[in-house]
Amino acid sequence: MKLLIPSQCIELTGDVQRVLLLAEQQGFAIGHIELGVSPTPDLQLVGDTTLRLSCNWFPHVQPDADRVLHYGAVTDDCASTAMHDRWIFIGDEHQGYVTDHWQHSDEVRSLLQVTPLEPRDYGRHLAWVLACLSLDFPIEDALVLSRAALNVSRETWPSDYRHFPQPRTQAEFSAFPTLKSASLGVYPVVDDVRWIAQLLPLGISTIQLRIKDPHQADLEQQVMEAIRLGREFGAQVFINDYWQLAVKHGAYGVHLGQEDLQTVDLKMLSDNNLRLGLSTHGYFELLRIHQLAPSYIALGHIFPTTTKQMPSKPQGLVRLALYQRLLDSMPYGDTTGVPSVAIGGIDALNAEHVLACGVTSIAVVRAITEAKDVAVATHRLQQIFALSQASTKERNHVVG
């Protein structure tokens, strides 16, 4: 990866280097990122593809760049000429509010609870944007981190919820029942109720039924049987996607992805006292989802996985640990620290490393469903989880 900075703002190089060194302290690899001078008036991120960025406080803004960052209030002239699908507005003032906003597909995304930036802050903000993009963060996460970084010292990677902006959410607020973190444990995700019948007697306390085909002939029967088994064993059974059936048959909980939030009736779920788990894939989604007060937040996918087509790249352990630090500072009911479930490519070989990031639970699929001996594989994962919990308690006791 090459980050090329035009000579007109070469002083940005030092600020970007400081952010990258701070990232290295968190565990990110930065050796592959090469800083250089751009042969053009715009910033360039050159990897598998080239991303061109420009900025309105450069001597010559490049309106045809892939992304244009506009700092400060938007003037009428700018608003009439800007290509809103490519422009990112930082500190735009409108009707007494200050927001950062940009176009994402058919959606306008916004960061709230931000302040106008002084010109002296532009370089630091932009340096964080550039460094985060170089580290392969998506643009929404780069913008979130850049704002949070302005609320902490230059030597600190943002991790406290109070320092982060709040993404605007289109969904109405709905608080869901809280969970005891200790109740989650090893969390299998299975595609047939027969797995639930097999795993609950082995001591599994949380499980998810994820049937991908909405036209499956026995779909409703499987949902009903999963709910019945959950009640029989006193287990936390979550139904993936089919929230109407979950409400109809009185399920314990529902798990939904980001795309489901466009169609789900969250108030109906909340009114029926269903627990809600929501998938996230980065800082922006994590912060936006938290506003709905779900029962737990899933973080993924951690490692490459073949069980589901994923729009995002594997997060890895470094990002997972950073997300968990943020989750640990978030309000959750009357306490602090939202329960988390790490998911994606987790098995007995890497589970210990995942749990060391501080997550509440690990979701597993192939580690159980493709095991030669399901009972042995399940008990092995439960043993790894129990040892991790004991180690965490021991460390907390020593610190306390």
- The tens place of each residue's pLDDT in the chain, 400 residues long, gives 999 999 989 999 999 999 999 999 999 999 999 999 999 999 999 999 999 999 998 888 888 899 999 999 887 555 544 456 899 999 998 778 899 999 988 889 999 989 999 999 999 999 999 999 999 999 999 999 999 999 999 999 999 999 999 999 877 777 899 999 999 999 999 999 999 999 999 999 999 999 999 999 999 999 999 999 999 999 999 999 999 999 999 999 999 999 999 899 999 999 999 999 999 999 999 999 999 999 999 999 999 877 666 667 899 999 999 999 999 999 999 999 999 999 999 999 999 999 999 999 999 999 999 999 999 999 999 999 999 998 877 766 555 5
Q: Is position 267 annotated in a ligand binding site?
A: no
Q: Is position 210 annotated in a ligand binding site?
A: yes
Any idea where the domains of the chain sit in the sequence? 2-164, 185-399
Q: Is position 151 annotated in a ligand binding site?
A: no
Strands (E), the chain: 2-6, 34-38, 43-46, 50-55, 67-71, 87-94, 97-104, 107-112, 166-167, 186-190, 206-209, 236-240, 253-256, 275-280, 296-300, 331-332, 335-336, 340-343, 361-364
Q: Is position 209 annotated in a ligand binding site?
A: yes
Q: Is position 345 annotated in a ligand binding site?
A: yes
Q: Is position 178 annotated in a ligand binding site?
A: no
| DSSP 8-state class, residue 63 | T
Q: Is position 44 annotated in a ligand binding site?
A: no
Q: Is position 208 annotated in a ligand binding site?
A: yes
Q: Is position 231 annotated in a ligand binding site?
A: no
Q: Could you report the per-residue pLDDT of 44-95, keeping only the tens digit for each?
A: 999 999 999 999 988 888 888 999 999 998 875 555 444 568 999 999 987 7
**CATH class for domain 185-399?**
alpha beta
